């Protein structure tokens, strides 16, 4: 099994987190987003979308973090996914939240502030105010999440699942995009619980959001 990944990519980090929680080893191929390697001919032959993460397992090629989480959690069990269809739908609701509200909110704010690019399909010189839009979505998603976590330990099913893994990275890294977590006490408590899970591995920026300047 081979994972195409980049250290500072939160979407790649989702997969690295699940692998760490499951205690599974996987070959890693680093795709350097800082030198545009995601658009090299070699990588585009793996993922024509030009994005990490991508997972290759024999003949199977998966090109999206949510798909990879479902595949690995479904195969390796451990309570991160479910065999029950209604429970699968409850988890998928949060995978979709991560791919929409989170990706176009706190993800984009972090990409623009810390890396200077929208990294969500828009060109680096896109004339619109990408950051202002991302902050509105980012703050709204944090408010939604904070209200949901009032009285809950985990996003769904009363246990940590891939729903939490999919939402965690960019929410916890929101301060890198200059979006403060301080108004969201329930989100902060959930982040602390998530970080205490056995096998947790960090990503740069969790404790030092200004490390990129």
99 interacts with ligand GSH by CB under 6 A: yes
Rounded Cα gap, residues 93 and 64, in angstroms: 16
52 interacts with ligand GSH by CB under 6 A: yes
Q: Which of 119, 134, 149, 167 binds ligand GSH (CB under 6 A)?
A: 119
51 interacts with ligand GSH by CB under 6 A: yes
Alpha-helical (H) ranges within 53-184 are 65-76, 85-97, 108-110, 130-149, 162-172
38 interacts with ligand GSH by CB under 6 A: yes
Give me the least distance between CB of 131 and ligand GSH, in Å please. Answer: 16
Rounded Cα gap, residues 101 and 123, in angstroms: 20
Whether residue 152 contacts residue 163, with contact meaning beta carbons closer than 8 Å, is answered with: no
Q: Which of 37, 64, 87, 133 binds ligand GSH (CB under 6 A)?
A: 64
Nearest 5°: phi and psi at 28?
Answer: -115, 135
Whether residue 99 contacts residue 108, with contact meaning beta carbons closer than 8 Å, is answered with: no
Give me the least distance between CB of 183 and ligand GSH, in Å please. Answer: 26
- What residues pair up with 3 in beta bridges, in sequence order? 28, 55
47 interacts with ligand GSH by CB under 6 A: no
Give me the least distance between CB of 47 and ligand GSH, in Å please. Answer: 9
Which CB, 193 or 212, lies closer to ligand GSH?
A: 212
Crossing angle of helices 85-97/65-76, nearest 10°? Answer: 150
65 interacts with ligand GSH by CB under 6 A: yes
User: Which residues in this chain contact ligand GSH in the complex, by CB under 6 A?
Assistant: 9-11, 33, 38, 50-53, 64-66, 99, 119
């Amino acid at each position: 099994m081979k994972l195409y990944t980049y250290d500072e990519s939160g979407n790649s980090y989702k997969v690295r987190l699940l692998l760490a929680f499951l205690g599974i080893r996987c070959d890693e191929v680093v795709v350097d987003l800082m030198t545009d390697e995601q658009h090299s001919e070699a990588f585009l032959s793996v993922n024509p979308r030009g994005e990490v993460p991508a997972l290759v397992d024999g003949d199977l090629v998966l090109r999206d973090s949510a798909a990879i989480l479902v595949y690995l959690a479904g195969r390796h069990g451990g309570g991160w996914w479910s065999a029950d269809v209604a429970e699968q739908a409850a988890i998928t609701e949060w995978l979709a939240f991560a791919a929409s509200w989170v990706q176009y909110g706190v993800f984009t704010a972090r990409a623009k502030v810390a890396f200077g690019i929208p990294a969500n399909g828009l060109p680096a010189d896109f004339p619109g105010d990408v950051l202002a839009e991302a902050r509105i979505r980012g703050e709204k998603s944090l408010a939604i999440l904070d209200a949901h976590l009032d009285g809950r330990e985990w996003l769904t099913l009363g246990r940590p699942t891939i729903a939490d893994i999919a939402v965690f990275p960019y929410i916890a890294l929101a301060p890198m995009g200059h979006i403060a977590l301080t108004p969201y006490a329930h989100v902060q408590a959930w982040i602390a619980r998530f970080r205490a899970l056995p096998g947790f591995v960090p990503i740069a920026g969790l404790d030092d959001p200004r490390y990129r300047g």
